[in-house]
Chains A and B, each alone.
Chain A
């Protein structure tokens, strides 16, 4: 039960002792522009894109021949032959070949989880430097053979005589030749992620207008961040692309309102989710450089922000107790309570826009008195997120969402925003990241200006 783990909202004292461990700082990040599937990166593999993002990071921070403590990255859509994807990207990069690496996979939370895991290693004194990252290609997705053909091929491999082999080959039927392409369906419910969100969106009575407005703001904020040059030191061009190809700087609320719904058409209630207020399938990669303060100083590198803490949560979505993408709703109060903080103590909110409905359902749950009492174990609602602090430089609806690359995109951008903000009321500026993931999971993290 998620609620049982939550300390009451009234607690203002941190439940963890002051850190005796070292801090993990974010030095900076680098990503390649995100491309809509079938676009500029159509022939690029996960390894190609991860290496491109990594090479840009190496060039920006002078890491040629550097032995980094550890590199962790992952991809959601990953071929089994890419079991060592991250290590292969390291070997193809200018980092010292003596840099170890591992792969991680936690659906859309993959990127953020690499940041948290590596930060913990830094804090524990196991490593002094690390690179976190993620990549995904919907264009170059792995395709498996059908279950029937897979069994036949394995039997064929075990067969000894030509007669046995011929018999086995004779078992192949036309239906076995249909490939098994990956999809975003939940294995236990058969519903796509969009259909799941449509249920949640309807449950929280999120209007079409509110979703379109969030999508509009995402495009407008991302476009103005590009205009300001915000991404100049967060990105390297790749394959002729220098901006996220999904971004529509000139989109209008009218244009968004004209789109036909794509999810939730058979729910009975009005369908509100369109291609405009849902993230498109995207290709891309991101990386983040983490280190101890001493390592950053010794290499004369910036310290943008500190990774304070992270929290994972999961919900029982299978029979509809909670929405598939609502786990961060539970993770955030637990994380805030641990540090004696409320939503009002946060200066920037980065809530991953899987769908506009996800963000708005999350905010609605936090504002709901009854939900706060019965599900979060608080005295009332968790609180209200100041919309002026939400996704101020755009998020996934505009930038796109190459699943495992989203965490690194958000962490690097937020770290830069916190660094620019510096202090608020005499304390370091704080940022909160929330990423929902398939399987009813969510990972959230707390960052502070360094």
Chain B
């Protein structure tokens, strides 16, 4: 159960400090033994109040993912605003899984009400649903964004992460079906767009989102964490897909993405967006799928659906 009283942080946590802290903890574990020894998710939630978007940062984010710089915060930008709060929960001493090396499996966002700059926001985050996965242990990081003045819930995000190779006794019950079925056979459709992603894509998104996870920054820093090269941020790819869905979408919507093969940089990514309209012609849903145009491997799939 999540404690109804959040731990209120005085200011937005610094992501760079959190990453350094996580790296130190990881090094310590390597010396002292693999497991954190914890079996439960922390019951605490963290909250930061009166958060306002920085207009230069907002504009830079919008331009990077292909959005027009309007006063409405893109749903992916709100995720980036909330991310340090979630990270601070995952950085707690009583958090059972190692933060570094976690894999973003899927993301679900409900944009209930459009958020306009410069509205003040209260951002709260906690962890829940720790469960076994065939490759390790997965959990959900939940973030809720409310209007500081009215208290209304505006945005809710659930990010599902996998701690690969971490098995917690009692949770890694045999026969876990999470992640057990591989991706279905995929035959690429004709693309509606083709993205050219340069080697600096990860660094550019890190600059606007603050997510300086080393796996995205350079070949060297990614190799240090066991990857063969740097990879694009999942939320960068999903945010570009959301931007490509465009202005047709309704004011309130649900936005889903499931990540499959990572995008190693530099890359060409093929994208197909299919729009589903109601009988009256109004927008109902846009489905998207992205793949590697050379290998045909699927990178991610998702949808944007009217109503949240």
A residues at B contact (CB < 8 Å): 40, 42-45, 47-48, 51-52, 55, 65, 89, 91-94, 97, 237-240
**B55 part of interface (Cβ distance < 8 Å):** yes
B70→A55 contact, CB < 8 A: yes
Question: Which of chain A's residues has its CB closest to B281's CB?
Answer: A65
Interface residues of B in 108-124 (CB under 8 A from A): 117-118
A92→B117 contact, CB < 8 A: no
Given the interface contacts A51-B70, A55-B70, A240-B55, does A43 sit within 8 Å of B60 by beta carbon? yes
Q: Which residues from B are CB-within-8-Å of A239?
A: 55, 71, 117
User: Which listed residue, A51, A65, A240, touches B282 by the CB 8 Å rule?
Assistant: A65
Q: Contact mask B32-76 → A, CB, 8 Å, 1/0? A: 000000000000000000000001100110110000111100000
Residue contacts A-B, CB under 8 angstroms, 28 given? A40-B55, A42-B56, A43-B56, A43-B60, A43-B69, A44-B59, A44-B69, A48-B62, A48-B70, A51-B68, A52-B68, A52-B69, A52-B70, A52-B71, A55-B70, A65-B282, A89-B68, A91-B247, A92-B246, A92-B247, A93-B247, A94-B247, A97-B248, A238-B71, A239-B55, A239-B71, A239-B117, A240-B118
Q: Which residues from A are CB-within-8-Å of B70?
A: 48, 51-52, 55
Question: Which of chain B's residues has its CB closest to A90's CB?
Answer: B247
Q: Which residues from B are CB-within-8-Å of A40?
A: 55
B68→A47 contact, CB < 8 A: yes
B69→A48 contact, CB < 8 A: yes
A132 and B281 CA atoms in complex are apart in Å by: 27
**What is the distance, in angstroms, from B52's C-beta to the closest C-beta of chain A?**
10
Q: Which residues from B are CB-within-8-Å of A89?
A: 68
A92→B68 contact, CB < 8 A: yes
A292 and B47 CA atoms in complex are apart in Å by: 54
**What is the distance, in angstroms, from B253's C-beta to the closest C-beta of chain A?**
14
A239 and B62 CA atoms in complex are apart in Å by: 13
Question: Which of chain A's residues has its CB closest to B70's CB?
Answer: A52
B68→A48 contact, CB < 8 A: yes
Q: Contact mask B167-208 → A, CB, 8 Å, 1/0? A: 000000000000000000000000000000000000000000
Q: Which residues from A are CB-within-8-Å of B248?
A: 97
**What is the distance, in angstroms, from A235's C-beta to the closest C-beta of chain B?**
13
User: Which listed residue, A43, A47, A65, touches B59 by the CB 8 Å rule?
Assistant: A43
A230 and B258 CA atoms in complex are apart in Å by: 50
**What is the distance, in angstroms, from B98's C-beta to the closest C-beta of chain A?**
38
A65 and B281 CA atoms in complex are apart in Å by: 10
Question: Which of chain A's residues has its CB closest to B60's CB?
Answer: A43
Q: Which residues from A are CB-within-8-Å of B56?
A: 42-43
A52 and B55 CA atoms in complex are apart in Å by: 15
A447 and B163 CA atoms in complex are apart in Å by: 68
Q: Which residues from A are CB-within-8-Å of B69?
A: 43-45, 48, 52
**What is the distance, in angstroms, from B61's C-beta to the closest C-beta of chain A?**
11
Q: List 6 other contacts, CB 8 Å, given A43-B55, A45-B63.
A: A43-B60, A45-B69, A48-B68, A51-B68, A93-B247, A97-B248
Q: Which residues from B are CB-within-8-Å of A48?
A: 59, 62, 68-70
A373 and B55 CA atoms in complex are apart in Å by: 56
Q: Which residues from A are CB-within-8-Å of B247?
A: 91-94
Question: Which of chain A's residues has its CB closest to B67's CB?
Answer: A92
Question: Which of chain B's residues has its CB closest to A240's CB?
Answer: B118
**What is the distance, in angstroms, from A128's C-beta to the closest C-beta of chain B?**
20
Q: Which residues from B are CB-within-8-Å of A237?
A: 71
A298 and B256 CA atoms in complex are apart in Å by: 39
A47 and B247 CA atoms in complex are apart in Å by: 14
Question: Which of chain B's residues has its CB closest to A89's CB?
Answer: B68
B282→A91 contact, CB < 8 A: no
Interface residues of B in 83-122 (CB under 8 A from A): 117-118
Q: Which residues from B are CB-within-8-Å of A55?
A: 70
**What is the distance, in angstroms, from A236's C-beta to the closest C-beta of chain B?**
9
A89 and B247 CA atoms in complex are apart in Å by: 11
A40, A48, A93 interface centre (most CB from chain B within 10 Å): A48
B118→A91 contact, CB < 8 A: no
Question: Which of chain A's residues has its CB closest to B72's CB?
Answer: A55
A82 and B6 CA atoms in complex are apart in Å by: 48
**What is the distance, in angstroms, from B223's C-beta to the closest C-beta of chain A?**
31
A238 and B116 CA atoms in complex are apart in Å by: 10
A75 and B33 CA atoms in complex are apart in Å by: 64
Question: Which of chain A's residues has its CB closest to B62's CB?
Answer: A48
Interface residues of B in 236-277 (CB under 8 A from A): 246-248
Q: Which residues from B are CB-within-8-Å of A42?
A: 56
**What is the distance, in angstroms, from A201's C-beta to the closest C-beta of chain B?**
39
**What is the distance, in angstroms, from B178's C-beta to the closest C-beta of chain A?**
39
